[in-house]
């Protein structure tokens, strides 16, 4: 085999579809919903001011989407990742109910803004 020659590609590299990548990112991380969630106080009741992190109740690897976001303080979010949901004083199902109610509230607010515009 001869060395030093150009690399011969057998397949064409596909360009990135930026619009599809943006839609997938928003579906996974919440986009404007994540910003709305971050503006809320921690749902654990730890008393931190409303500057939370958007945490997934169902991991993205397990199929979690923006519907599964809840506000957690940075300390509670780290505690949840390190020790699990029980470390926050409740089960994951409790936080999944909170996520579902927040998603409904966010959808209602978004629909009201669309009707007003």
pLDDT tens for each residue of 48-90 = 877 888 898 988 788 888 889 999 999 999 999 999 888 888 8
Residue 26: other Cβ atoms inside 10 A: 15
Q: Given 3-state DSSP classes, what are the helix, strand and coil percentages for the chain, each rounded to the nearest 5?
A: 55, 5, 40
Query: Is pLDDT of 11 > 80?
Result: no
**How close are the terminal C-alpha atoms of the chain, in Å?**
67
Q: Hey, where are the domains in the chain? A: 20-116
Query: Is pLDDT of 1 > 60?
Result: no
> What value does the mean pLDDT take over residues 91-108?
91
pLDDT tens for each residue of 19-38 = 888 887 777 666 788 888 88
């Amino acid at each position: 085999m001869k060395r030093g020659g150009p690399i011969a590609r057998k397949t064409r590299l596909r360009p990135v579809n930026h619009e599809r990548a943006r839609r997938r990112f928003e579906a996974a991380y919440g986009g404007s919903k994540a910003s709305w969630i971050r503006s809320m106080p921690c749902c654990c009741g730890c008393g931190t001011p409303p500057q939370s992190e958007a945490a997934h109740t169902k991991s993205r690897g397990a199929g979690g989407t923006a519907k599964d976001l809840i506000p957690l303080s940075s300390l509670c979010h780290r505690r949840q990742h390190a020790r699990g949901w029980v470390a926050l004083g409740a089960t994951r199902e409790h936080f999944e109910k909170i996520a579902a109610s927040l998603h409904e509230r966010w959808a209602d607010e978004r629909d009201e803004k669309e009707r007003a515009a």
